[in-house]
Amino acid sequence: MANNRDGLVQHLRHWLARQSIESNATLIVGVSGGLDSMVLAETLHRTGIDFHVAHVNYHLRGEASDADQALVEAWCAARDAPCAVLHANVDSTDHGVQAEARKIRYSYFERMRTEAQQSNGCPAYIVTAHHGDDQAETVLLHLIRSADPLALSAMPDLDAKRGLLRPFLNLSRANLAEACDAWSVAYHEDASNAKPDYLRNRIRHEVLPLLESLRPGTANHVAHWASRFQSLRSFFDMERNEATARCWTASYGKGELALSAWLAEPLRLEILHRLAHEHGIAARAVPELLHLTEAHVESGAHFVCATARVERRGKALYWISLI
């Protein structure tokens, strides 16, 4: 990208053209009031593309949350940009406040996208301001906590299934900050982004700076790995599906894994992980399932959890869903 504010506009135009985004499409832009999303909105405005701003006020930070809403509404009013605001209450769940807020946010965006498509009969997409630094953080998050190696593919720039666009994914936050300064875009800094309570924040403020000090350009390098994994994931999913079909049969909540055919598959461990996931069995329990496949294990040996029972019967593993 050219190292200037106009370069960001050109980047967006070229990116949309490369992705074959229809000229009559409606873009639903998630804008929180932070630097990244405010620059995205400003870039879209300067590009002259039809878009609608969507903002969610979770009321988690009191007056600060209301100030974010006021900032977004004022920006939209000054540019005659349609703006919709959702007031939401975030309940604490086992997955945490951030995960619940994300669920609410994307559900709202999807509802707006669907309504836009139905109202004018034209394509509609959700657009977010995720950038390369976010991608690097996501890769590292998956690396330390995900059971799926292909989770390293992280976020695609175009998620066709969800109608989700991330046009800034191959840019850095520094690129956006430069445009923000050049355009004098007002934004608010969310104080919660600096708290060490969340793992992502510690990766952002502690891990990535350390890696950058060891080798400048690490964040960009890690983000590029994610894009490489995107195509590998598509290929791997196809191969694993075909391999599973050769050794697995299922019907009416029950399934049979033929061990002789399964043992012949190079992807047998990944098949087992997939079946465990589909039956609600945690990845940490896969070694127990693997033990049931060993030649010396007698019929009747089994694994059971709240969601499934897996039992050795001769040369097969029988799976029964319990929910």
Q: How far is CA 323 from CA 41, 275, 278, 307, in A?
A: 45, 15, 12, 6
Give tens-digit pLDDT for 37-60: 999 999 999 999 889 999 999 998
Determine the topology of domain 246-321 in CATH: 3.30.465
First-last CA distance in the chain = 51
Residue 94 pLDDT: 66
| Spatial CA neighbour of 53 closest among 22, 87, 35, 76 | 76
2 pLDDT exceeds 70? no
Under 8 Å between Cβ of 191 and 64: yes
Share of the chain above pLDDT 90, in %: 80
Give tens-digit pLDDT for 73-103: 999 999 999 999 999 988 876 667 888 999 9
Residue 154 pLDDT: 94
113 pLDDT exceeds 70? yes
Domain ranges of the chain: 5-230, 246-321
Q: How far is CA 64 from the centre of its chain?
A: 26
Task: In whole angstroms, give the CA distance from residue 168 to residue 177.
Answer: 12
5 pLDDT exceeds 70? no
CA angle (252, 254, 260) in 5-degree steps = 135
Indicate the average pLDDT of the chain.
93
Greater confidence, 92 or 166?
166
Task: In whole angstroms, give the CA distance from residue 166 to residue 246.
Answer: 37
Q: pLDDT tier at 4 (50, 70, 90 boundaries)?
A: very low
- CATH 3.40.50.300 holds for 5-230: no
Give tens-digit pLDDT for 268-319: 999 999 999 999 999 999 999 999 999 999 999 999 999 999 999 999 999 9
245-265 average pLDDT score: 96
